[in-house]
Structure 1
Amino acid sequence: MKSQQNIGTHTFQTPSGKIIALKENGIIMAKSIRYAHSERFQKPVPVESSSSEIIFPHKTPVASQTISPLVENMIGPTHIERFEVDESTQFLSVVRPENENENEKFPVVVWIHGGSYEIGCGDLPTADPGEWVKEQHIMVVTVSYRLGLFGFLGGNGKRIPNLGLFDIIEALRWIKKNISSLGGDPENVTLMGQSSGGDAIAHLMISEGVEGLFQRVIIQSAPLGLREKRQKMTAELLRKTEFLKDNDDVLKMMDEYRKYVPSVVQYGLKAAMPFGVQYGFPPLCREDEVIEQWKKNAAAYDVLIGLNNDETAFYLKTSLTLKKYAGKGFGLTLINKLVRLTTEVIYGKPAKIFAENYAEAGGNVYQFRIHSIIKNHSLGAAHCIDLPLIFGKEEVWKYAELLKDIPWKYIAENGRKMRSLWAEFARNGSIADHSERPEILELHKVI
């Protein structure tokens, strides 16, 4: 039972209005603050200043989506009674330490969640930053944005592409305007994202209208190998789901669109992520200009980019079909080789090329890779293994198949050191050679 003496409220007066936050066990949290509104398939409109108090909603707003059985098994169950679907899902939450020094402004980390541009939200228990905030004395802002049909599919004149990116940009503008009133430093903002969240951040670096909104980025497990030559696949999905666009039942829309997702057989690995950013539409440049734009902006942002060593084991080694026919012996050897190959194609090689290009253009960039040293753990350092390291709370992760046979002590010890390094980078854009590294982490500055 929680001690009542540790629970209270804190009021912040900001340019957007008076925000009522919860104060509990050393942290202050202002949850589910609306930063924008939107109509279906239209750009977000920033919120106006409120004359009434901004308070916690009863349930956490979440973008329209379907539950992923794989994620439920690998990471943990979603308690859907705690969430409420909101098609206009432009919300953010702010978590900061309760205590601050005089004239102190906290470095701000903005968390952009992953989920293949299709599932997730900013306020999942598996990405609770409370412990990290207390431990490293930083501020974390978590952002929710439109997904799937509503956020990352368009281009036929009726549906605007890249709406999820526009949402995130609007969130960053809200942060720039208001975060100082909550104790954060608007001139020291780091974007951090995992999987599609990392991919989104890589593209925010070359988006129009983001100048001065952030200073550095942490890109974890971004599937940059799936970003090219998606136009034909996207056009097919857009055409086949056009009949759903005016449906009032968003849950029915979620059920129906999955029948029309392009096949991996026809489009290759990129079909594993049917939604994504679309080049040649605002706020992005054409696809053939992307690499030069990253190089052009090399002086603007400090970069920490990397991956887990066995990313695709998350998918391949949990496939019931593959486990049935290739779960041991020579079949298992083939799966291990396939994990190695696909991890490098989707994550490893593109991250290396990105980092080398960025460094060659004069950018400040660090590259990392997370390994597993646990014997007899078949998944190794799979996709999402970085999440409990950064946001680790044992009670949240105890049912995760991802961590099966891994002692929590191993996660806690390595996670503490990794959180310290990530916070160091967020404070000043560098990581000292003498800073303690976890044994699972390979990290170097790219020169």
Structure 2
Amino acid sequence: MKEQQDIRPYAFQTPFGKVVAFAENGVIRAKSIRYARSERYKMPIPLDKAEEDTILNKTPVCPQNISPLLERLIEKTNQENFEIEESTQYLTITRPENTSENDRLPVVVWIHGGSYEVGCGDLPTSDPSVWVKEQNIIVISVSYRLGLFGFLGGDEERPANLGLFDIIEALKWIKNNIQSFGGNPENVTLLGQSSGGDAVTHLMISEGVENLFSRVIVHSAPLGFRHNRKKMSSELFRKTEYLKNETDVLKMTEDYTKLLPSVMKYGLKASMPFCLQYDYPPLCREEESLEKWKKNAKKFDVLIGLNNDETAFYIKTAQEGLYTYLSETILNTIVRTTTNFIYEKPANIFAKNYADGGGNIYFFKIHSKVSKNSIGAAHCIDLPLIFSNESAWKSSELLKDISWDYVYENGKKIRSLWAEFARTGKVSDDSERPEILELRKI
């Protein structure tokens, strides 16, 4: 029988008030701290003080549809563990248990992916405990509004980019309070994957983020989807107008999916119907974005990259439709072409533009070296490498035919490199690289 972990209560005294936490298995976790509140389609209002001794038994999540693909490839959703809530402004802090009183640890802020539509910051598959203990860092996971509630707007009644404003409020909270947890407010690195990576790159050119972070690590950002979205977003915005006052949030998330076929005419980017919207605060116009990244290049250290076979996650794992009838050679060609269009080419353009602006930027690519793994280095394969929670990933089809020891050993080297970057903004040429990682300074 597995031994029960020794869980001990803990408390932090902060400018925000007393924050309740628990020590377990070498880390201290302050879970589901509310950093702001919001009404539907309203700006987040930061909280002045902690909600007294509030301990949530379930993880709050923004209303969303469960993705069968994510459930099959990553983790089955146990709905009993989650509480649906529109105002999903929460963060969870994980830090090492054994620290000295004067420690000022580097802080990594995790911005989760999920196409701006699904997920939350606090999932077992992104439990940072192993990384925190190995590298003596603090990791903060942020939840924010998604989908109709956070990333589709167009007028004063339904503003755009509310989810991005949520993240900015979380960063302000971290700036004001993280020192009480042993963190260094002057050494904050944002880590985003997929749409979270897209959000992180756009936070670099957002209004109101001055001095909130100094570094970014961007995994698999679909920057190829950021262009020319205005017509598609406007059409989806108009068609969902009838849902704006719906009291049943699950009906809202169910009904908008019926409208998605009508926007497929906008091409591949329609597969991600929600996104950040240019021309609305806190962002600039789309045509100004590259120049603004270039202008801000000396403000932030950047580590950006992708997995070599990103779109195999969707294409090679399809259980129905056209892809199931195509040969391996044709599938590989489609994967390479779409990965280049959505992820690699735009990331390279971003990196070159940033370097031309005098920025400190590194580019990485994760490869598959396991011959039996036909999917390759697909989208999300980086997550178990960074968040080494074996129990959460053991049933994942994404890791089928890959031993956990292989994942762990390669991941340990990546975790060390990423922590080095978070501490210093650099990756030494002498630091050990795993065989699956290609990494270079631009």
Does the TM-score normalized on the shorter chain lie above 0.5? yes
- Supply the distance in 2 between the matched residues of 1:125 and 1:273 (Cα, whole angstroms): 24
Give the C-alpha shift of residue 17 in structure 1: 1.1
Unaligned runs of 5+ in 1: none
Give the C-alpha shift of residue 10 in structure 1: 1.2
8 Å contact 2:126–2:389 — kept in the other structure? Answer: no
Give yes or no for the alignment of 1:22 onto 2:22: yes
Tell me the equivalent position of 1:13: 13
Equivalent AA in structure 2 for residue 155 of structure 1:
G
- Supply the distance in 2 between the matched residues of 1:324 and 1:136 (Cα, whole angstroms): 43
Give the C-alpha shift of residue 186 in structure 1: 0.3
Tell me the equivalent position of 1:440: 436
Tell me the equivalent position of 1:318: 317
Give the C-alpha shift of residue 262 in structure 1: 4.9
CA deviations 1:53-73 (Å, max 9, x no partner) are 334201110011010000000
- Supply the distance in 1 between the matched residues of 2:311 and 2:182 (Cα, whole angstroms): 39
User: For 1:300-379, what aligned pairs fall within 5 Å after superposition?
Assistant: 300-319=299-318, 320-326=320-326, 331-379=327-375
Tell me the equivalent position of 1:417: 413
Equivalent AA in structure 1 for residue 52 of structure 2:
E
- Supply the distance in 2 between the matched residues of 1:300 and 1:180 (Cα, whole angstroms): 22
Give the C-alpha shift of residue 318 in structure 1: 1.3
8 Å contact 2:421–2:427 — kept in the other structure? Answer: yes
1:383 paired residue among 376, 379, 385: 379
8 Å contact 1:225–1:345 — kept in the other structure? Answer: yes
Give yes or no for the alignment of 1:141 onto 2:137: no
Equivalent AA in structure 2 for residue 77 of structure 1:
K
8 Å contact 2:107–2:138 — kept in the other structure? Answer: yes
Give yes or no for the alignment of 1:187 onto 2:186: yes
TM normalised by structure 1 equals 0.97
Give yes or no for the alignment of 1:234 onto 2:230: no
Give yes or no for the alignment of 1:252 onto 2:248: no
CA deviations 1:285-323 (Å, max 9, x no partner) are 001100010001001000000000000000011122245
Unaligned runs of 5+ in 2: none
Tell me the equivalent position of 1:124: 123
Give the C-alpha shift of residue 101 in structure 1: 2.8
2:351 is paired with a residue whose SS is helix
- Supply the distance in 1 between the matched residues of 2:308 and 2:68 (Cα, whole angstroms): 24
Equivalent AA in structure 2 for residue 169 of structure 1:
I
Equivalent AA in structure 1 for residue 393 of structure 2:
W
- Supply the distance in 1 between the matched residues of 2:232 and 2:322 (Cα, whole angstroms): 26
Equivalent AA in structure 1 for residue 388 of structure 2:
G
Equivalent AA in structure 2 for residue 421 of structure 1:
L
Equivalent AA in structure 1 for residue 170 of structure 2:
A
Tell me the equivalent position of 1:73: 72
Give yes or no for the alignment of 1:398 onto 2:406: no
8 Å contact 2:386–2:414 — kept in the other structure? Answer: yes
Give the C-alpha shift of residue 8 in structure 1: 0.7
Equivalent AA in structure 2 for residue 22 of structure 1:
F
CA deviations 1:196-232 (Å, max 9, x no partner) are 0000000000000000000000000000000000000
8 Å contact 1:308–1:370 — kept in the other structure? Answer: yes
Equivalent AA in structure 2 for residue 305 of structure 1:
I
CA deviations 1:315-335 (Å, max 9, x no partner) are 011122245311xxxx22111
Give the C-alpha shift of residue 265 in structure 1: 4.4
- Supply the distance in 1 between the matched residues of 2:53 and 2:159 (Cα, whole angstroms): 30
- Supply the distance in 2 between the matched residues of 1:421 and 1:109 (Cα, whole angstroms): 13
- Supply the distance in 2 between the matched residues of 1:382 and 1:276 (Cα, whole angstroms): 22
1:142 is paired with a residue whose SS is strand
CA deviations 1:385-418 (Å, max 9, x no partner) are 0000000222111111101111111101100000
Equivalent AA in structure 2 for residue 438 of structure 1:
P
Equivalent AA in structure 1 for residue 20 of structure 2:
I
2:358 is paired with a residue whose SS is coil
Give the C-alpha shift of residue 263 in structure 1: 5.1
CA deviations 1:241-268 (Å, max 9, x no partner) are 1000000000111110101125574111
TM normalised by structure 2 equals 0.98
Give yes or no for the alignment of 1:35 onto 2:35: yes
Equivalent AA in structure 1 for residue 134 of structure 2:
E
8 Å contact 2:74–2:397 — kept in the other structure? Answer: yes
- Supply the distance in 1 between the matched residues of 2:186 and 2:75 (Cα, whole angstroms): 36
2:321 is paired with a residue whose SS is helix
User: For 1:55-74, what aligned pairs fall within 5 Å after superposition?
Assistant: 55-74=54-73
1:233 is paired with a residue whose SS is helix
8 Å contact 1:264–1:270 — kept in the other structure? Answer: no
- Supply the distance in 2 between the matched residues of 1:157 and 1:37 (Cα, whole angstroms): 19
8 Å contact 1:414–1:439 — kept in the other structure? Answer: yes
Q: Which moved more, 1:253-262 or 1:229-238?
A: 253-262
8 Å contact 2:236–2:263 — kept in the other structure? Answer: no
2:430 is paired with a residue whose SS is coil
Give the C-alpha shift of residue 161 in structure 1: 0.2
8 Å contact 2:101–2:182 — kept in the other structure? Answer: no
Equivalent AA in structure 2 for residue 27 of structure 1:
V
* CA distance 1:412–1:177, shift in 2 (3 Å): same
